[in-house]
Structure 1
């Protein structure tokens, strides 16, 4: 019974480590390849460390190196994987303090890792570490691992691309079977789940494990109730496990294979005791021969112990106690060379005592029994020393966690204070900004009002200017009309004079030529038209002409004076003026002279030049 559960736990430990010996070279090639990034070497390095556990120094060196590389990565899931793998090495060495430190580091990285499958795998390994140290809290970590694997959809990205959901579940359920070893109902439940998950993983190593744990479930119940039908079920599943293992030799780890063979021998022993059928002895012998093959290449002490227990069990079934004693003494000699291993030494000396007792050598049996109790005492002391160390380490870790929690609370208060201070600073800033903006707005408003007043003043000034301009326009219009009236008056005066002259001419000259009259009329019409056109153009181009003449003169100009001014501005010759006005040249010169005096011109000043430049 003790042998059975020992094998269960050994198998559990190695279940999560790849058993394919043939991939060691390919993994080592990855680690040695300088073109591959360090990040991609972490998992292969850890796997090699697991496969090479027989070489403790190499395994520990690789495990530590993988942790060192993982801590340099930004993705914390690499550290989760590397730390959980390294912890397994320390727990095998019995280093309680270092194991719990590794667990603490691993949990810290789990808290910041987003890779749920790396976290779930790590919880599984933490559970194994704690259970190996008889810390029952490990079972909670196993349940946590199972919960994560079951309830998170598998995406296979990042580091999780190398992990399989069903592998994790197989391992978790297998560990629960070990924990509930004497609880048949739970063992039955979890062994079924182990086998189901193993089939979904499509991993032969795990499928073999699933069959194996299912067979152990029935073998366990048989040990309790001794019903032969349970041995049939145990035999069915264990032989299935053996068949799967032998399909691909070299891909199933030796310790797993030895576990199956040992439990099958247990089944055959039970059947031989019940039926006394020598076929079962032959089958036990076949199992021993298969075990011998793998024993030749395995030198691990614990593997050797379990291998010898298998051999001793078969010899005891044959009732060949002397051979059993010889084998027991051989393994005791091997174990005696090793430090510690007190539990195995106790079991082996206790077994040797019982064998000597069966052969009737009571004195030797008692002597070996005393040795067994001596080692049991050492084992007991060692165990409780470890328990003490475990409690001490857990206490220190708890104290450390409490300190961290206190610091976190302090940090929360500091952060809260900083937030309040920050908010106050923001409020002060906004108040100050509002005040500055308010004053700025007030200033801008005052400037705007001043500007509006200034604009209003400018507007009023413009309005005033517009009003003055309108008045001026009206005045200019009045002057223009006045000029036009004056021009028309001059023209009328001229016409009247002309008509009077014509009348006098006709009365005094009965023979007046009508042709000459028509010619004079046409000439007058032409002159009237030219004069009207010129007056219009002059008024349009130079509306200030008459005003400036009046401004320059010392006396008011008559309409005739203005007419002379227009003729002079038109650069009309004196003779043409005389003809147009029907006066003599002397009269025109006299009028020009008088006009020059009225304008205040000196004798040497030119009247024509003055009038031409007046505009």
Structure 2
């Protein structure tokens, strides 16, 4: 069984309470009269949501709030409220894992830092900019702006925000493979939260500290110390949910030490808490972890029972991605135990479910691209509106000045007044005609621009869809055939008797029907190079391992981090770490984007 325990870095705080729905948010907006107050409400509501969401409903709610805020910001010239709307758009892009687009909104926020003199607001803006760089793995710029935010918080004497910034820097150090620096940052944050007796924060940060030590050679003892401390403070805190992550991490250490009884107690406790809180992501993770402990103890029936019970749980229904994780764990268990019959059954369910998930994710990506298009269109309309207001104010100013001069000369030159009045009327008519002409030209240009953008978006969507379907089919064939080959080998080793000969023959027929393509990576690689010639040749001198070359191939085929994690059978956090190491071997600067570089090969 290839699943292993790993350090869960950020504690999973979950609750039975759902996030506000779009209907509830709209009802609250209807009660608020001021546009700026509405933007503030939307911004504060969005803070309740995690940056990375799993359910389609929650993602759509964030997009709904972001578009509302952008629309409301049209009516204000305040840098503060325009920033709040942009930060909501940035959060929306992060929830859909469009990290490059999130970074672009961070750069727009950066422009507003020059327009405000409020150091508190500037610090918040720099923190938002740093967030965009964090999710796009641009660590150089992330640290630059996060430290700018930190220095401002320090100058303002805001100890709580200083501690929060140090905590964020510590987490980032984990992804840059600098755990020693991370320990220093987390320790500074811990000092503050211990001084104010915030047990929940101390529990959370002690778990982070334990995870950092787990990533260091020889850090097991320190990791165990901090994870036990995290559990101790979580029991003193306000929520038992903070217990689960350090319990799961500590269980991983105990498995390595063959302390299976202690490991079982910890994972079962975490599993129970996740179940009661209806947090199915954690429930699935801990179920797989529990099955791994049983597998290490050679208790295969108990391992299978845990996974099958999790699969039957009513709360798993409607969450195909979680079911896929359980199918994968069962597949690995059956492969290890040589149960070919059940493995074929699980494989067929896995194939059908993965196809349906892929189609749903593709539709979701198209929907989000439309949200981006609508948002950019709205921003362009704001610019056109501001230009029109500026032109109108200029015309009014000229007309007013002409009127004042005419009144001042009335008592001296009555004849001159008549001439001036006629001239003013002619100018006004000329200005009105000019304004009509300008409006018509702007409308024509805007319509042409929107048409061109729509055509470009349609072509881009079609190209990405074709490329995604090609690469998804290729990678899926590889995964399916490797597994089928393994099952075929297992069947050959099964002792055939008259009783089970018919059953073995049926299994073999099922495998042959599913093996429609070549079943090894070399042939898949040839197919890939037919689409992307010389790709691997250009990377052959970089010192990348076979595993890292496959990672690069998935990036070239435009898989997102979650899909790559599934294909490589690793955690999403490990994808970020792997990308950082690939960038080092390729000699890329921190600010260079790895997907852009791979896409140019």
TM-score, normalising length: structure 2: 0.51
d(CA) in 1 for partners of 2:384, 2:299: 66
Contact 2:210 2:223 in 1 (8 A): yes
Note closer, same or farther for the CA distance 1:264–1:377 as it changes in structure 2 (3 Å cut): farther
d(CA) in 2 for partners of 1:199, 1:370: 53
- Which of 326, 350, 360 is equivalent to 2:328? 350
d(CA) in 2 for partners of 1:196, 1:120: 30
d(CA) in 2 for partners of 1:434, 1:6: 90
Q: Following TM superposition, by how much is the alpha carbon of 1:327 offset from its aligned partner in structure 2, in angstroms? A: 0.4
Matched residue, 2:165: 169
Contact 2:51 2:94 in 1 (8 A): no
Contact 2:264 2:290 in 1 (8 A): no
- Which of 283, 296, 309 is equivalent to 1:317? 296
d(CA) in 2 for partners of 1:309, 1:87: 26
SS of equivalent residue, structure 1 residue 184: coil
Deviations 1:26-53 (A, max 9, x none): xxxxxxxxxxxxxxxxxxxxxxxxx553
Matched residue, 2:452: none
Note closer, same or farther for the CA distance 1:101–1:77 as it changes in structure 2 (3 Å cut): closer
- Whichever of the two has the greater Rg, that structure is 1
Contact 1:88 1:125 in 2 (8 A): no
SS of equivalent residue, structure 1 residue 286: helix
Q: Following TM superposition, by how much is the alpha carbon of 1:85 offset from its aligned partner in structure 2, in angstroms? A: 4.3
Note closer, same or farther for the CA distance 1:435–1:107 as it changes in structure 2 (3 Å cut): same
- Which of 99, 108, 113 is equivalent to 2:62? 99
Matched residue, 2:352: 374
Contact 2:334 2:342 in 1 (8 A): yes
d(CA) in 1 for partners of 2:226, 2:397: 64
The number of residues matched between the two structures is 372
Deviations 1:374-430 (A, max 9, x none): 333333333232222221211121112112222222222223333333444444455
Q: Following TM superposition, by how much is the alpha carbon of 1:79 offset from its aligned partner in structure 2, in angstroms? A: 1.8
Note closer, same or farther for the CA distance 1:135–1:188 as it changes in structure 2 (3 Å cut): farther
Note closer, same or farther for the CA distance 1:246–1:405 as it changes in structure 2 (3 Å cut): same
Matched residue, 1:184: 177
- The CA RMSD measured in Å over matched residues stands at 4.4
- Asked if 1:204 corresponds to 2:193, the answer is no
d(CA) in 1 for partners of 2:227, 2:69: 36
- Which of 205, 208, 217 is equivalent to 2:212? 217
- Which of 234, 240, 243 is equivalent to 2:229? 240
SS of equivalent residue, structure 2 residue 367: helix
Matched residue, 1:33: none
Contact 1:84 1:125 in 2 (8 A): yes
Matched residue, 1:298: 277
Matched residue, 2:247: 261
d(CA) in 2 for partners of 1:167, 1:127: 24
Matched residue, 1:604: none
d(CA) in 2 for partners of 1:378, 1:430: 79
* Correspondence 1:23-38 to 2 at 5 A: none
Matched residue, 2:564: none
Contact 2:11 2:207 in 1 (8 A): no
Note closer, same or farther for the CA distance 1:291–1:424 as it changes in structure 2 (3 Å cut): same
Q: Following TM superposition, by how much is the alpha carbon of 1:136 offset from its aligned partner in structure 2, in angstroms? A: 0.9
Q: Following TM superposition, by how much is the alpha carbon of 1:142 offset from its aligned partner in structure 2, in angstroms? A: 4.0
d(CA) in 1 for partners of 2:164, 2:72: 19
User: Gapped runs of 5+ residues in structure 2?
Assistant: 107-126, 132-145, 418-601
Contact 1:357 1:365 in 2 (8 A): yes
- Asked if 1:329 corresponds to 2:329, the answer is no
Q: Following TM superposition, by how much is the alpha carbon of 1:115 offset from its aligned partner in structure 2, in angstroms? A: 11
Q: Following TM superposition, by how much is the alpha carbon of 1:330 offset from its aligned partner in structure 2, in angstroms? A: 0.7
User: Gapped runs of 5+ residues in structure 1?
Assistant: 20-50, 440-615
Contact 1:63 1:86 in 2 (8 A): no
